[in-house]
Amino acid sequence: MKKLVSLVLAGIMAMSLAACGAAPAAPAAAPAAEAPAAEAAAPADASLVDAAKAEGELVVYGSCEEDYLAAACENFEKIYGIKVQYQRLSTGEVQAKIEEENGNPSADVWFGGTTDPYNVVAAEGLLEPYEAENASHLLSPAYRDKDGNWYGIYKGILGFMVNKDELERMGIDAPQDWQDLLDSKYQGLIWLSNYNTAGTAKLVVNTMIQKYGHDEGIQYLVDLDKNIEVYTKSGSGPSKNVGTGECIVGIGFLHDGITQIVDNGYGNIELIIPSTGTSYEIGATAIFKGAAHPNAAKLWVEYALSPDCVELAAQNGSYQFLTIDNAQQPEIAMEFGLDPENVMDYDFEDAKQNTTKYVEEVMTALGSAADDRFKTE
């Protein structure tokens, strides 16, 4: 019944969508499969499957939402009979951990989360290139690293999520574009994620620099900071607090807002695509350089680029667009008016070369303003 009510709310909310112009704990083990290993719907090369099974184990760091991560890992274990351990970490946490381990990683693969941190560690030589057979199903060359360091599994659109009831109570209109967020009437009402820990926030940095130019983009973020109440550790943090009214305006991926509306029943959330344009993430998967289980890691990448894996997203509250041509797209995203092609031409190469520098420049520009609002827990 809750799902039915939520879906009704989703339809209502679609009508209101604005038009577009510290060391982590040990990974958790996936529950043992109750049924015998099944055949994959899109089987990988038999020799790779045999080699992966001989290794018998895989360790996954996941930066997508935990429900999707768990489902993906449990299904891989069920299909191939390979024991999977997994842990959910933000992309910034994974980046920091892999950099510290420097070629002797404690996990084999990375799953989910926006590609800016992937590109940073790829440039540092900490990802293992692999030419995946199932990459032939990618809808665009943009959905992969040209050297095979990572492959895209989903695409998410950056935007605003607002609590309509609270804005109405305050007599404040919802922001319709990036520049609107600088208005003093939103002071203390906006939540964003931490530039140091969240790939979502790194994407915001790159987006503003690409949209307005280097100096102007950094100045925009300095000006925006005056209205920010909290910088959450994870990119989905703002979306999880809009429905309750703790956050009035959240900046993040709109599919996270859909999750709050459809799965959690928050019909008071409105999704807004910035009127002058926005950017997008490519959620990726990759193999860590020096992975202890290299064949299981390659098999994971093949699996991640198959319907067996990516169609689990929408079944577990993650409504991103999918990047392969043989998977069913989540219809609910379309019902909310999201268009995976209606986004700016994001410069991934500039992000690959400069994300770390840009984040450092923003934090330096903020100076003493970079205070305890920046959450790491």
Q: Are residues 276 and 287 in the same domain?
A: no
In percent, the amount of the chain with pLDDT more than 90 equals 81
Q: Which pair of tokens denotes residue 67? A: 């429900």
Tell me the pLDDT tens digit for each residue of 203-221.
999 999 999 999 999 999 9
Q: Looking at the domain assignment, is residue 374 inside a domain?
A: no
Tell me the pLDDT tens digit for each residue of 171-193.
999 999 999 999 999 999 999 99
Q: Are residues 321 and 244 in the same domain?
A: no
Decide: 221 and 203 in contact? Cβ < 8 Å.
no
d(CA 209, CA 199): 15
Decide: 68 and 154 in contact? Cβ < 8 Å.
no
Q: Looking at the domain assignment, is residue 144 inside a domain?
A: yes
Q: What integer pLDDT is reported at residue 28 of this predicted model?
A: 53
- Residue carrying structure tokens 């790779």: 48
CATH code at 38?
3.40.190.10
Q: Looking at the domain assignment, is residue 140 inside a domain?
A: yes
Q: Which residue segment(s) compose the domain that 201 sits in?
A: 2-20+157-280+342-369
d(CA 192, CA 252): 7
Q: Looking at the domain assignment, is residue 377 inside a domain?
A: no
Q: What integer pLDDT is reported at residue 341 of this predicted model?
A: 84
SS (H, E, C) the chain: CHHHHHHHHHHHHHHCCCCCCCCCCCCEECCCCCCCCCCCCCCCCHHHHHHHHHHCEEEEEECCCHHHHHHHHHHHHHHHCCEEEEEECCHHHHHHHHHHHCCCCCCCEEEEEEHHHHHHHHHCCCECCCCCHHHHHECCHHHECCCCCCEEEEEEEEEEEEEHHHHHHHCCCCCCCHHHHHCHHHCCCEEEECCCCCHHHHHHHHHHHHHHCHHHHHHHHHHHHCCEEEEECCCCCCHHHHCCCCCCEEEEEHHHHHHHHHCCCCCCEEEECCCCCCCEEEEEEEEECCCCCHHHHHHHHHHHCCHHHHCHHHHCCCCCEECECCCCCCHHHHHCCCCCCCCCCCCHHHHHHHHHHHHHHHHHHHHHHCCCCECCC
d(CA 333, CA 32): 33
Tell me the pLDDT tens digit for each residue of 323-369.
999 999 998 888 888 888 889 999 988 998 999 999 999 999 999 88
Q: Are residues 146 and 162 in the same domain?
A: no
Tell me the pLDDT tens digit for each residue of 250-293.
999 999 999 999 999 999 999 999 999 999 999 999 999 999 99
Regarding pTM above 0.95, the answer is no
Count: domains in the chain: 2
In percent, the amount of the chain with pLDDT more than 70 equals 88
Phi and psi of 355, rounded to 5°?
-55, -50
Q: Looking at the domain assignment, is residue 218 inside a domain?
A: yes
Closest CA to 178 of 48, 71, 273: 273
Q: What integer pLDDT is reported at residue 65 of this predicted model?
A: 93
Average pLDDT of the chain is: 89
Q: Are residues 261 and 348 in the same domain?
A: yes
Mean pLDDT of the region 158-169: 98
pLDDT at 44 over 90: no
Q: Are residues 44 and 101 in the same domain?
A: yes
Q: What integer pLDDT is reported at residue 40 of this predicted model?
A: 45
Q: What integer pLDDT is reported at residue 38 of this predicted model?
A: 40
Q: What integer pLDDT is reported at residue 43 of this predicted model?
A: 54
Q: Looking at the domain assignment, is residue 186 inside a domain?
A: yes
Q: Residue 203: is it exposed, middle or buried by C-beta count within 10 angstroms (0-12/13-18/19+)? A: buried
Q: Are residues 178 and 228 in the same domain?
A: yes
Q: Looking at the domain assignment, is residue 375 inside a domain?
A: no
Q: What integer pLDDT is reported at residue 19 of this predicted model?
A: 39
Q: Are residues 114 and 210 in the same domain?
A: no
Residues present in the chain in total: 377
Identity at 29, one-letter amino acid code:
A
Tell me the pLDDT tens digit for each residue of 71-97.
999 999 999 999 999 999 999 999 999
Q: Looking at the domain assignment, is residue 173 inside a domain?
A: yes
Q: Are residues 132 and 32 in the same domain?
A: yes
Q: Are residues 273 and 287 in the same domain?
A: no
pLDDT at 123 over 50: yes
Closest CA to 338 of 204, 139, 157: 157
pLDDT grade, residue 226 (50/70/90)? Answer: very high
d(CA 115, CA 320): 14
Q: Are residues 238 and 297 in the same domain?
A: no
Q: Are residues 80 and 146 in the same domain?
A: yes
Q: Are residues 204 and 169 in the same domain?
A: yes
Tell me the pLDDT tens digit for each residue of 235-255.
999 999 999 999 999 999 999
Q: What integer pLDDT is reported at residue 45 of this predicted model?
A: 86
